[in-house]
Structure 1
Amino acid sequence: MNTPFPPALRLLRWVIHGTFAILLAIAIAGVLREGRAGAAWGGLLLGLLYGLGLTVEARLPHFGGRLHLALGRVWLLVVTAGWAVLALSSPRFVWLAFPLFFACLHLLPLAVALPAVTLLTAGAVAADAWHSGSLSAAQVVGPMIGAIVATLMALVYKALHAESEQRRELIEDLVRTQDMLLRAESESARLAERERLAREIHDTLAQGMSSIILLLRAVRANLSDHPERATRHIAEAEQTARENLEEARHFVRGLAPPALQQSSLGAALRRIGDTATAGSDTGVRFEISGTPVPLPPEHELALLRIAQGALGNVTRHSQARHAGVTLTYLDDVVVLDVYDDGRGFRPDQAVGYGLRAMRERVTALGGSLAVESAPGEGTAVAATLPLPVREAP
């Protein structure tokens, strides 16, 4: 909010200031009719001091601060002193005490404001009695009623102002909380995107590079004695590099892998098995069990990436002679098994990124990942994903 007061409080404030201006104008007009120019000039000066205080208040940079409070109390003291002089000069200025009640109750602590209002009331009664030369009940009751009404209105004003401040603080807290949530969401999205990029690079580009390295090693080993075999490995390395480049382009564009765009999931898995183990001594056997059903693109992508990661681990770490990839369609789940007869490992001591990336992929789709292995006994990785619910015909 650009102003510290809501509309209701602003209206109440200007009603009080307007009351002061009207009472002052009536008093100045009265003393002018009586031919008392000095009192009229004094009234104008008091009005200028009152307006100067409102102008300074509106231009203070920190409303409600110590500077505002100190200047406000100095202004109240000067205006009250001017009112006292005018009230002694003419009874027409006595009723200007009514808006001054509000100023005292607004600028002073309640313990000080109530005695100040009492003194103003007594001063108004005394000034009126001094001008009339006598003291009547009406002269006492009038200012007392004005003081009581002003006090009650000021208390209501303070309560509204306190509620307005609480609402303003609540809004500021909500805005700060919203900013914090936006920053947290932005950071979470950034971390999630970084994690996604890491998974994609690990499961695609890194696996492809690993296959190319194995093929080039095979080329070097066969270049002298088996040139035709070396030539075949060079062609396979070239094909793998081409596929890796295509993967990178689709990866940048955020599209589905080219292996899935050009063929089914089964064919893509078979191709991945051949590419991942090219140039190594590991033979891969692929099979499909059950009746294949259409899968969502995110399911196919996850299964393909898990197979790439698992077979990449087989060729790099397991020293296996045989490996197998099985895609099983059950009633409500699809299961991908990747197993080998390599040297195995202890899953509780695995510190690599690959298994964690596989687990994150299946968890994001509501599935699970199981890893079974032991030193010298091979490894089996099973990824289970729930099948989407199909409507009955």
Structure 2
Amino acid sequence: MGQHAFFATVLALSVPGALAGADMTIGAALSRIGPAVGLALWYAYWIALRGGADRPPLPYLVGALAGWAFMAVVDPAFLPVAVAVLSPYWLRRAWWSAGGVLVLGAAWSWQSLTTDGSVDVRELTGCVLGTAVAVTITCYVATLDHESHKRQRLLDELTATQAERAAAERQAGTLAERQRLAREVHDTLTQGFASIAMLLDAARDDLPPDSPAARRVEQAMRTARDNLAESRRLVHALRPAPLDRTHLADAVRELTARLAEETGTEAYTVVTGRPVALPPSTEGELLRVVQEALTNARRHARPVSVSVTLSYLGDVLAIDIQDDGTGFAPASRHTGIGLITMRERIAALHGTFAVESTPGEGTTVAVTVPLPAEPPSSEPSAAVSGTDRMAPAS
């Protein structure tokens, strides 16, 4: 607003000076007022209405200088209008503005010389001092604006750093809470189920074989052991493989190796492409998705073979978890909390999630997430590349 007011003030003060002639006719007055009004409208369109005050467009400069040159030829009293024309450039183009002011001072002196035949010392001194003051003010204002923008950039960087720190603290708090829950489950439910299984095993030994009581104790033992296995899987899910010591592909290998060891299922991991290290939080979310998919295959599909494929495709990472189990009809089956959780995790990573399954033909969980344009400095270990097959435990 101050810039607009300055432009209007300089232009308004120049018009009376151009109309000060005693023999001014209506035509001569219109030849001076008309260009001034046109210049004002040109400024209003390009700077005030189109918002070019921060970065004035080139058409404004060309048109405004042409209008000023015409006005200066019609009447030298319009020479100071050049200062108003350059006002949008004072902050963004300080050297241009300073050069324009110097040219204006020289033009003013030349106009006095050609009109009067000589230059008065006082007028020349005033012109030089006025030009120096204008150049100094222009450079000073530009310096203040530069420092203001520099401080704003520093504030923006500080805000971004604080946001990243807050996100890291939230992530650390989430991981700490998950570890606490894992310890609680392990120290209470897991230990309790283990004790129940041991007591039932001892009670079965004291009962006659094939008696109704022995069969009921055997059923209770199976239930206790199933719940013990479930609680252990829950602990593993809450505390995923330590990604601070390994990378995603190695952690997935550990999951398939554990599945092969515990169930006898042929489970293996395949890695294609050049592995790229993702942010730890992203790798943790992907690892939990793979965990959930393997758990679903283990509990519901009864597969003979399970494979996890990690494909690094340049700009995306594709993960396919495939089993040859019983499968299901996705359209007719109620979506469980596990699938919902996996879908939400991938959506938070701006990826895609899909489940393909046919009864009797197995299930495939397909996940894609974008890879960073510039991967983090920590590179995956060389052992991650290539193909790795985990044979089932003997």
Q: Say which one has the larger Rg.
A: 1
Q: Relative contact order (alpha carbons < 8 A, sep ≥ 6): 1 or 2 greater?
A: 2
TM-score by length of 1: 0.47
**Higher percent of residues as helix:** 1
TM-score by length of 2: 0.47
